[in-house]
Amino acid sequence: MTVTVIFDLDGTLADTSADLIAAANACFEARGQGAPLDPVADAATAFAGGRAMLRLGMTRRGLDWTEAEVDRDYPVLLAAYAEKIDAHTRLYPGALAAVERLRARGCPVGICTNKPEGLAETLMTRLGVRDRFGALIGADTLPVRKPDPAPLLETIARVGGDPARAVLVGDTVTDRETARAAGIPAMLVTFGPEGEGVSRLAPEALLPHYDQFDAVLRSLFPDH
């Protein structure tokens, strides 16, 4: 029997951290404040979103910042990111092959991300893999975003899947909470910045590498 597999994007399907950090640093560089964020050490913050990067950078620069200032710089960050969205971003090893195996078995696949929909569409198109996914829901596709379960359930619906036989593959507490709220299992990757640390979130499954994806999926759905 088929299983619907919905993937998070940043930190799950693709390592976007270097391009995200570069976009955030561009905001600070434009004001002559240098580049406070590191593409490796701050990867986890990058996957937490643009505003999280701005908050960290402002704190490191000793700025007495407010959320209004974060909101002011956020469009600047998005513009810088859109300009060089795929300069360093790559799919994680084995990710595309795992998706292709799912498609070959007739399994519906989609993307549910907190990246703005337009940017997510652009990135997946430039990476040459957008056509592998039956649907893509971004942070602004619906009035709510993850960890609200609505975007996940809508992604499942758009690919023609069944929530009773679905899994969310992600990398953060947001994905864990989203899956729990939707009543479906979460498979969290351990090759991101947190590594095995995501086990503290008690997901239904952990994925150390996409080469092991099929076996991990069968542990959740033995009849797959």
Q: Which residues have a catalytic role annotated?
A: 8
* Pair (79, 95) in one structural domain: no
pLDDT at 157 over 90: yes
pLDDT computed for residue 100 by the predictor: 98
Residue 193 has pLDDT above 90, yes or no: no
Q: Quick one: pLDDT at residue 194?
A: 86
Boundary of a domain, candidates 83, 100, 115? 83
Separation between Cα atoms, residue 10 and residue 89, nearest integer Å:
10
Based on the fold, state whether residues 116 and 191 are members of the same structural domain.
Answer: yes
Please state, in angstroms and rounded to a whole number, the distance separating the CA atoms of residues 191 and 189.
Answer: 6
> What are the DSSP E strand ranges found in the chain?
4-7, 14-15, 90-91, 109-112, 136-137, 166-170, 186-189, 205-207
User: Distances from the Cα of 152 to the Cαs of 103, 114, 209, in angstroms?
Assistant: 19, 11, 23
CA angle 197, 42, 116 (to 5 degrees): 95
Give residue-wise pLDDT tens across range 118-132.
Answer: 999 999 999 999 999
Q: DSSP letter at 92?
A: P
Tell me how far apart the alpha carbons of residues 176 and 28 are, in angstroms, rounded to a whole number.
32
Indicate the residue type of 24.
A
Say whether both 10 and 108 belong to one domain: yes
* Statement to judge: residues 213 and 123 lie in one domain: yes
169: containing domain: 4-15+89-220
Of 27, 62, 83, the position where a domain reaches its end is: 83
Residue 143 reports pLDDT greater than 90: yes
pLDDT score for 167: 98
30-39 pLDDT, tens digit per residue, is 989 999 999 9
- CATH number for 148: 3.40.50.1000
Query: At 106, is the secondary structure helix, strand, or coil?
Result: coil
Q: Are 77 and 98 in a shared domain? A: no
Q: Residue 1's pLDDT is what?
A: 85
Same domain for 117 and 24? no
Looking at the structure, tell me whether residues 193 and 143 fall in a common domain.
Answer: yes
Q: What is the number of structural domains in the chain?
A: 2
Query: Is the domain of 112 the same as that of 10?
Result: yes
For 62, counting Cβ atoms within 10 Å of its Cβ (0-12 exposed, 13-18 middle, 19+ buried), the class is: exposed
Question: Average pLDDT for residues 174-186, to the nearest whole number?
Answer: 98
